[in-house]
Amino acid sequence: MPRIILLGAPGSGKGTQAVKLVEKLGIPQISTGDMLREARKNGTEMGKLASTYMDGGSLVPDEVVIGIVKERLGMKDLEKGFILDGFPRTIPQAMALDKVLEDLNIKLDHVVEIDVPFSMIVPRITGRRSCPECKRPFHISFLKPTVENHCDDCKVELIQRSDDTEEAVTQRLEAYQKQTKPLVEYYSEQKILRRVDGDGELEEVFSKIINILS
């Protein structure tokens, strides 16, 4: 029953690896980025607020994100485990998560840090595309669809995230360095941090993660 956090800079491949882990392990992915984008799409007050931070590449305030994760972690489908993707991203979020898990009487098994050199990140992010229906990730150079700019499964046109632009990426990397990187130390101290070199083929990185989990 793995309970996993995937940690890593934007563009490190967290989301892509999370989707593969969901397929392999049959446990849900909890992506705060996806949840916030969904709220934005639905035009909720929270979605509108989050949007102002997301578009500029800044982090959404802790209390907002902690609130949605708390609610999600209380749901029944997590009995077999879960993959947290993109949460926590700050020390207060990590502390809040510890508290929620303690209250639920469950423990984290692994925090997997996917490490990718910053120089690789901009081309990775700006070339990212995804299917608006099934959310399957693609890349214009590294993970090309069979038919240009169309989902292999749903056949619909792929989309690009509004914060996957070069300007927003710079801000997102800065936020990662300042606010999220300290979590490496936080989870090292808890002795559950495992580092994976993310500078490789998707399948290669995936098998390294699977090795850690087994």
Q: Which of 107, 135, 122, 111 is nearest to 194 (CA)?
A: 111
Q: Is 19 a residue that touches ligand AMP (CB under 6 A)?
A: no
From 20-28, 86-94, 113-121, 183-191, give the range in contact with ligand AMP by CB under 6 A: 86-94
**33 interacts with ligand AMP by CB under 6 A:** yes
Select the residue interacting with ligand AMP from 114, 172, 193, 205 (CB under 6 A).
172
Q: Establish if 116 lies at the interface with ligand AMP (CB under 6 A).
A: no
Q: Is 72 in the site for ligand AMP (CB under 6 A)?
A: no
Helix 14-25 crosses helix 202-213 at what angle (to 10 degrees)? 60
Q: Tell me if residue 172 is catalytic.
A: yes
Kind of pairing, strands 29-31 and 82-85? parallel
Size of the site for ligand AMP (CB under 6 A): 18
Beta strands in 117-206 (DSSP E): 128-130, 137-139, 193-197
Of 5, 6, 30, 59, which one interacts with ligand AMP (CB under 6 A)? Answer: 59
Annotation marks residue 129 as catalytic = no
The set of residues, in sequence order, having a beta carbon less than 8 Å from that of 57 and lying 6+ positions away, is 163, 167, 168, 169, 170, 171, 172, 174, 175
Check residue 36 for interaction with ligand AMP (CB under 6 A): yes
- Which residue lies nearer to ligand AMP by CB, 88 or 145? 88
Q: Using the minimum distance from each CB to ligand AMP, give the nearer residue, 155 or 182.
A: 182
| Span near ligand AMP by CB under 6 A; candidates 30-38, 99-107, 131-139, 195-203 | 30-38
Buried b (16+ CB within 10 A) or exposed e, 184-199: bebbeeeebbbbbebe
Closest to ligand AMP by CB, 56 vs 117, is 56
Alpha-carbon span 17 to 22, nearest angstrom: 9
Contact 156, 131 (CB under 8 A): yes
Catalytic amino acids?
A: 14, 89, 128, 161, 172
